[in-house]
Amino acid sequence: MSRSSRLSSSHINLSWGGLGLLAGLILGVAVMAFLLVRSGGSPSTTGPASSLDQRMIRIADQLQCPICEGQSVAFSNSQLAAEMRRTIEEKLQAGESEEAIIQYFVDRYGIVILREPPRQGLTAWLWLTPVAGIGLAILLLIWRLRRMAMVSAASDGEEPGGASPALDPEDFLDPEVEKLVSQYDKDLLA
């Protein structure tokens, strides 16, 4: 790219298209923010549990089938899972709360029965480790990018072949097609 277009990047001049883009983006983000507030930000998929059946499935889906690895009680074909579903149903009919029913199974089987481990004690580390690791990686990357950018700014201009635009855009494309594409960019899209 030419020197002039690189300079223009420092002053942002908004055309009508640019303004429209910005307005649309703000509108979109506003809609999403509204939806986020409405749904409470939780990635919940089930609506208000109405029927007994749906409440049973919602509870059973939080429990791991003890004999068939990798499947929840809700949709396992095993005999045990079917019995557990019946137990949940009976307890719901007796008016027990969701928490009490889950606690009942935890007391019998241990927390291994929970598909989502609790976030306390040792298992808190399950949640903390990836979050901390990813956070650290992001910080490291940004720090490194800034350092690389700084080094490059300092050595800009004296870099021998590095700044040559020969390698510049998409060197996988036919050069003539590339030329035409950029011509189109200028003529038709601008």
Partner 1 sequence: MPATFDLVNLGAGALRLAPIFALYAMVVGPLGDRLRRPAWILSARNALYAVCGLLLLASGALLYAFITKDYSVFYVFQNTRESQSLLYTWTAFWGGNAGSLLFWATGLSIFASIAVTTNWRSQYRLMPYVIAVLMAIALFFLLLMVFVSDPFQRLDFVPPDGRGLNPLLQDPGMAIHPPLLLSGYMSMSIPYAFAMAALLSGRLDASWIRATRRWTLTAWGVLSLGLLFGAWWAYRVLGWGGYWGWDPVENVALIPWLAASAYIHSVIITEKRQMLKVWTILLVILAFVLSIFGTFIVRSGVITSVHSFAQSAIGPWFFGFLGLSLILSLIALVYRLPQLGSRRRLDSMFSRESGFLFNNLLFLSLVFATIVGVLFPMISELVSGVQITVGPPFYNRVDGPLLLALMALMGVGPLLPWRRLTWGQFQRRFRWPLAVLVTTWLILGVILRDFWPVLAFGVTAFTGATIIQEFAQGIRARRTLAKEPWWLAALRLVGRARGRYGGYLVHAGIVFIAFGIIGSQFFNQERGLNLAPGQSADVGRYTLVYRELTQSQSSHETVISAQVDVLRDGEPWRSIQPGKRILVGFEQQPVSNIAIESTLAEDLYVVLTGWEEGAASFFVFVNPMVLWIWLGGLVLILGGLIAWWPERHPQAVTVPADAQTLPRGGARV
Interface of this chain with partner 1, residues 42 to 81, rule: CB under 8 A = 43, 45, 53, 57, 62, 64, 68-72, 74-77
User: Looking at the DSSP assignment, which residues form a beta bridge with residue 114?
Assistant: 63
- Residue 93 interacts with partner 1 (CB under 8 A): yes or no: no
- Residue 151 interacts with partner 1 (CB under 8 A): yes or no: yes
d(CA 40, CA 57): 22
- Residue 166 interacts with partner 1 (CB under 8 A): yes or no: no
Given the structure tokens 């027990």, which residue do they identify?
Answer: 96
Of 107-136, binders to partner 1 (CB under 8 A) are 110-117, 122-123, 125-127, 129-131, 133-134
Question: What's the CA dihedral at 89, 94, 96, 100 to 10 degrees?
Answer: -70
Closest to partner 1 by CB, 94 vs 189, is 189
Closest to partner 1 by CB, 32 vs 100, is 32
In what helix (H) or strand (E) does residue 184 lie, and over which residues does it extend? helix 175-184
d(CA 110, CA 91): 19
Least separation in angstroms between CB 96 and partner 1: 20
